[in-house]
Each structure stands twice: as structure tokens, then as C-alpha cells.
Amino acid sequence: MDEALTRDDYLGGRLSLWQPARGYRAGIDPVLLAAACPAKAGESILELGCGVGTAALCLSVRVPDLRITGVERQADMAALACRNASETGAHFQVVTADIATLPDAVKQQSYDHVIANPPFFLRSESHASPHPAREAAMGEDTALATWMDVAARRLKPKGWLTLIHRTERLADLLCDLGTLGSVQIQPLQPRPGREANLILLRARKNGRAPLRLHPPVTLHTGEKHVTDGEDYSPAIRAVLRSSAPFPGF
């Protein structure tokens, strides 16, 4: 086995993925993203910035017969996504490209769902990571407005965008909705009594429903981590270990 890679289990062992041993390694964010996407069997999915395919392949475990396309600009990560897709048998096509300059094969398609986990951090306000793959995943290079515009353009009418991001970027997300409406916001708080530091957002192309702000979902039990084992709340554990849909969203 290549020592630069590890093969890690997700969804309680229902899914095993190759990813770099160092640098950016997928955590729970793409798993939560996949759980929040309201896809149904037979629908089409586009993931912008798919990395090694964690969110897309987690979604394929929960929902059968999806047609998934992933776009990833880092060739080594795209190659791992292809490998993971091949080994899982998912109907998952990976395109190596920048989301800002999509190839015609993608631009000529429209999708029932777009999912994305855009880079969280403005590098005008934070320090870059020394690991290129981690920096590409976490440091905003392509503007968040571009992510939103590309997603909206690739959605079918009434199609859904689902994404996960930092709470402090919510104002930017709402300003960049464009043709997207029927917005739903799900705050994620790390522990009881803590401020939500992440949000899941859903928006529908040409949607007209009022904005909905859901009650916060707590990721961990207890006020602090006190044991060696994990302390996810029961609902989040069901998402992470049993491929359950995201609760109440």
C-alpha cells in the first residue's frame, strides 16, 4: 500500500475511501453535507470541489441509483476520487477542472441537485496552510459568489443547492443567492450552550417559499469532551455511522 495514502472507513464501514495520509483529510463536514441533500433515487447530482469524493460517495450509499458528477481542480485528488468511485461501484464521474471554467460537457448539463463544501477561510483574514491540498480545500481562492453563481446556473428549475459553511459567511451566502430562493438554514452548534459555528444551507432555483431558520442541531453531548471515545449526539451518530438523513432538515 502507498504509505502516502490511507484507506478510511465512513458510515460505520459502509464506505471505505482512499485519501492522503497528510495534508487535507476529510472529516465529518462532507458526511453532514451528504446527509442534508434531499436527493431521491434516479436523480442527478453535481458536486463542486469534490476532493476524494467523500460527500458524493456518502450520498450514493444513502440514496440508490444516483447519477453523480464531481468537479475537482486538483489532479491528484480527482484521481483518488476516480479510484474511490471505481472501488465502490458508484455511478460517479469525476471531472478535473476549476469550477470557474467548467468544461462544455458539464456546462451543457443541468442537475437536480448541486452540493458543495466551499473553502471556509478568507486568506485576507487568516494564514495559509503549508500543505497545498489542505490550503486548496480550506483557503478561499475562488470567490464564494462564484461558487453560488456556478451552482445556480447548473441547477434545473426547482433544483436544490445544499452546502455547508462557516456561520460568519452566512451574510455573504445570502447576498449571493441570485436566482435561488426558498432558503433553509440549519445552524450546527458544537456543544450545548455554544454558538453555532457551522451552517447547512439549502436553496431552490426559482424557489419562492419564505426563508426558514431551523433550531440548532448539537453535534456533541456534554459541555466539554471528557472521555477518550467519541461523544456525538445520538442523531449525529446516526448520520455518521448509519447513513441516516440529516435530522429535521
CATH code of the domain in which 160 resides: 3.40.50.150
DSSP classification of residue 128: P
8 belongs to a structural domain:
no
pLDDT bin (cut points 50, 70, 90) of residue 249 is: confident
* Total domains, the chain: 1
Residue 122's pLDDT is 54
Considering only residues 138 and 224, tell me which one the structure prediction assigns the higher pLDDT: 224
88 belongs to a structural domain:
yes
The helix/strand/coil state of 241 is: helix
Residue 16 Ramachandran class (φ > 0 left, ψ -120 to 50 alpha, else beta): beta
15 belongs to a structural domain:
no
Contacts of range 131-140, beta carbons closer than 8 Å, 24 or more positions apart: 131/22, 131/23, 131/24, 132/23, 132/74, 133/20, 133/23, 133/24, 133/74, 133/76, 133/77, 134/23, 134/24, 136/24, 136/73, 136/74, 137/24, 137/49, 137/51, 138/24
Q: Is the pLDDT of residue 20 over 70?
A: yes
12 belongs to a structural domain:
no
pLDDT digits (tens, 9 = 90+) for 62-76: 999 999 999 999 999
123 belongs to a structural domain:
yes
Owning domain of residue 52: 28-221+229-240
Residue 132's pLDDT is 53
Q: Is the pLDDT of residue 230 over 90?
A: no
Across the chain, what does the average pLDDT equal?
Answer: 91
Residue 11's pLDDT is 97
Give the whole-angstrom CA distance, residue 35 versus residue 54.
Answer: 12
pLDDT digits (tens, 9 = 90+) for 23-36: 889 999 999 999 99
pLDDT digits (tens, 9 = 90+) for 205-215: 999 999 999 99
10 belongs to a structural domain:
no
Q: Is the pLDDT of residue 225 over 80?
A: no
Looking at the DSSP bridge assignments, the partners of residue 72 are 96
pLDDT digits (tens, 9 = 90+) for 102-136: 999 999 999 999 999 999 755 455 444 454 544 44
The whole-number average pLDDT for the span 80-100 is: 97
171 belongs to a structural domain:
yes
195 belongs to a structural domain:
yes
pLDDT digits (tens, 9 = 90+) for 171-194: 999 999 999 999 999 999 999 999
Residue 248's pLDDT is 83
pTM over 0.85: yes
Question: Cell numbers of 196, please?
Answer: 453555532
Residue 135's pLDDT is 40
